[in-house]
Amino acid sequence: MRYCESPYFNHRRRTREVVIGDPANGGVIVGGDHPVVKQSMITCDTMDTAASVKQTLDLVAVGCQLVRITAPTVKDAANLQNIVRELRQRACQVPIVADIHFKPEAAMEAVKWVEVVRVNPGNYADSKKFAIKEYSDDQYEAELKRIEEKFAPLVQECKRLNRAMRIGTNHGSLSDRIMNRYGDSPLGMVESALEFARVCRKFDFHNFKFSMKSSNPKVMIECYRLLVSRLEQEGPDWNYPIHLGVTEAGEGEDGRIKSAIGIGSLLCDGLGDTIRVSLTEDSPHEIEVCQDLLAQIPILSSATSPVSEKDFPFDPFHFERRETPEIELADNINCGGEQLIRVVVTKGTWDKVAHKIRPKDDVKPEAVYEDLNIAEIDPTQDFELNCDTQLVTVKDGVALPAIAAFRLLAAKLKRLGRNNPILLKDCIHFETTPLPPKIALLRASVVIGSLLADGIGDAILIRGESGGGQSLRLAYNILQAAGCRSFKTDYVACPSCGRTLFNLQTVTAKIKARTEHLKGVKIAIMGCIVNGPGEMADADFGYVGGAPGKINLYVGKTAVKFNIPEDEAVDRLVGLIRDHGKWVDPEEKEAVAQTV
């Protein structure tokens, strides 16, 4: 199975076109040869028409081409008529996407007024109870017929009204039926989506796209790769467009890094027709990141390649770190084997930060590049190595983008029967002027994150960010976002929408202020129950909106405290962490950003 033409150049996946609205009057065409479309979501109550209109106009003003609005109830779905009417009266023709969970009747109302209906197969026709049940083939077939009965009316109405649809599965919100047969896995997500797609095709409805979202970039990448390969297996007319996104990415640098790893990796491989960067911030910020990220893809990938290599040096559908021997990197620091991915800095960065580093600091250089015994290789040329214990990297100036060059290096090492540890670089070509920090962050995240998600890399070097302390912090943040190291608290935070039962930005800030010193602890902050228990299944603790002004607290995916008043909930969360032995008192120390 293959998910792209080649891992060494960007050959955009050719998809059928999905028409959303009237392209001659503000609508868009997704797929085909059309540019990638930028999407976002408003965050206010859908029943607040004025606020919904204002937030939509604000998004359009910064370049948003599709605006998603939640419709949790039939009443909310009905108010989409007022929102859309007001937008059209203001000469705003942006297509509106209704976000549906749990209630088919809300979808049937929403489809009357909006251009796109998004459904989640995990909860459209099923209620999730985390029940364990074995299904015989006959029972499973009966379940599929039940799902078709619930879903077919929406499909037929979309076809009648010339609407579009997004079939969007989320990691962690799969139905119990799918979970029992496939597990909470990329395969389960893909099969769940294909079940709904087959119903669409049964009624000759093809105006839809897919999404496979996860808060874990590695899982998200695997899901989309598997989806595209499965569509290819189904046949040439299954070439439906796909929407890319890392859900619950969070805020600030962390949210941008996670999104760049997941979305950027796939874009560089030629996948993706619409994108959304999900940030726990004001929605217009998402569009800026979308635009910046899309602008980097032609720089970080190429439509042609000087090599004819097409074999993958990694398994694209199952993450496995590339096997290497353990070697000494620097004094008392080893890399490769089962060691952590190490952080290397240039001599210039070392000179800037060394005097500020303290013995107990988690963020610190582990080796200096100029001091390493390292073989710099041009993988486009033939080369030889005499042993597996030689650290290797790609030589600067090679006639390939960095991702392709390091993949090719790994492929040629494999062919030679060598498994040398590899030092990854975020750039092998240099700009004449320093990159703006926000661009350096995106480029490094796409390059290093993509390769780490492939299982390639034993140490990393960031050079595109010119600031010493900033480049060091960025290296560690990328490793944490890619799931390779944990040096600080990890947060899974949804981006807010009309379903959210508390102010996500304010609450996230409060929780971070109390818990950000807890290294190795993962905390989920979810505005409502829609994706809550599932999306935060790999989190240690969860803070989830249960009702207006009321919070439920979770350990893993199990709710343990219910209906806690919001003004007590952060303290109760801290108490829960303490009760489970994960709490340590914060030390008196400066923030990492100040120390380096």
Task: List pLDDT tens digits, range 450-505.
Answer: 999 999 999 999 999 999 999 999 999 999 999 999 888 888 877 667 667 688 88
87-101, 168-182, 534-548, 570-584: range with lowest mean pLDDT = 534-548
Compute the average pLDDT of residues 543-564.
88
Average pLDDT score, the chain: 91
Say yes or no to pLDDT of 449 above 60: yes
Say yes or no to pLDDT of 82 above 50: yes
For 225-284, the pLDDT digits (tens) are 999 999 999 999 999 999 999 987 777 899 999 999 999 999 999 999 999 999 989 999
pTM for this one? 0.91
Residues 6+ apart with CB under 8 A from 431: 464
Helices (H), 64-208: 74-89, 104-110, 121-124, 137-161, 176-182, 186-202
Cβ atoms within 10 Å, residue 413: 23
Say yes or no to pLDDT of 535 above 70: no
Compute the average pLDDT of residues 79-106.
96
Say yes or no to pLDDT of 596 above 60: no
Compute the average pLDDT of residues 46-55.
97
Compute the average pLDDT of residues 388-414.
96
- Residue 546: predicted pLDDT: 83
* CATH ID of 490-579, from 3.40.50.620, 3.30.413.10, 3.40.50.1220, 3.10.129.10: 3.30.413.10
Compute the average pLDDT of residues 359-368.
91
**Strand (E) positions, 294-416?**
327-330, 333-335, 342-345, 367-368, 374-377, 391-394
Q: Is 189 exposed, middle or buried (0-12, 13-18, 19+ CB in 10 A)?
A: buried
Q: Are 393 and 422 in contact (CB under 8 A)?
A: yes
Domain locations in the chain as residue ranges: 18-300, 327-481, 490-579
Q: Are 474 and 435 in contact (CB under 8 A)?
A: no
Q: In CATH, what is the architecture of 18-300?
A: Alpha-Beta Barrel (3.20)
- Residue 215: predicted pLDDT: 86
Compute the average pLDDT of residues 178-194.
90
- Residue 537: predicted pLDDT: 60
Q: Please choose, from the candidates 285, 519, 314, the residue with its C-alpha nearest in 3D space to the C-alpha of residue 411.
A: 314
pLDDT band at 589 (very low <50, low <70, confident <90, very high): very low
Gap between the terminal Cα atoms of the chain? 45
